[in-house]
Amino acid sequence: MKATGFSRVSKDKLIGEIEKELKTRSTFFVAQHGTVSATALDRLRARLRQSDTRYLVVKNSLGKKAFDRSNMKQVGETLKGSCGIAFTSGDIVASSKTLVDFAKENETFKIQMAYLNGELVGADKVKVLASLPSREVLIAKVLGGMQAPISNFVGVLSGTIRKIVTVLDAVAKKKGSA
């Protein structure tokens, strides 16, 4: 007798692992990796780990069952071809940038959709998300914007004080010479 595919126990374990990721992480990306080599996918996984993201290659039937059990049937129906799911609990922008960059490097890798904090979005919105600056850059811009009026106010006050000191110095010199 020829053994093919996964055993029932292995399938249940994989479905359980996908369900666990769906419960513990609020964001995931669904991608088709087509004919991308296993070595290239390993490089992708290494880059995604830096932003606390895990990429799983998913057998479509098992992914559909996991999504059905997690009340996300509409996501399960989109699984076609060679699929993978990138689960993240880290920086969403960094994860999307990594996936979009990888898609540019590998033409058969396509981002299908993403589930971002309770909302399904298409690949075009993932690309927009990837074009955003990182979280740290955005925070720096906000802080710089908040600091600018204060810095300008301090500059105006110091200019006024400088003028008063200059006038008093001139008056003191004039009285000293008289």
CA distances from 161 to 21, 150, 164, 167, 168 (A): 61, 17, 5, 10, 11
Indicate the pTM of the whole model. 0.70
What distance in Å separates the CA atoms of residue 71 and residue 76, rounded to the nearest whole number? 10
Are 14 and 22 in contact, with CB atoms under 8 Å apart? no
pLDDT digits (tens, 9 = 90+) for 56-77: 888 888 888 888 888 887 787 7
pLDDT digits (tens, 9 = 90+) for 114-134: 888 778 888 888 888 888 877
pLDDT digits (tens, 9 = 90+) for 31-55: 988 888 889 899 999 999 988 889 9
Number of other residues whose CB lies within 10 A of the CB of residue 149 = 9
Number of other residues whose CB lies within 10 A of the CB of residue 71 = 9
For 112, the token pair is: 């299908």
Where residue 1 falls among pLDDT bands split at 50, 70, 90? very low
Are 48 and 116 in contact, with CB atoms under 8 Å apart? no
Percent of the chain past pLDDT 90, that is, above it, reads 8
- The mean per-residue pLDDT over the stretch 165-172 comes to 83
Are 113 and 29 in contact, with CB atoms under 8 Å apart? yes
Flag whether pLDDT at 173 surpasses 60.
yes
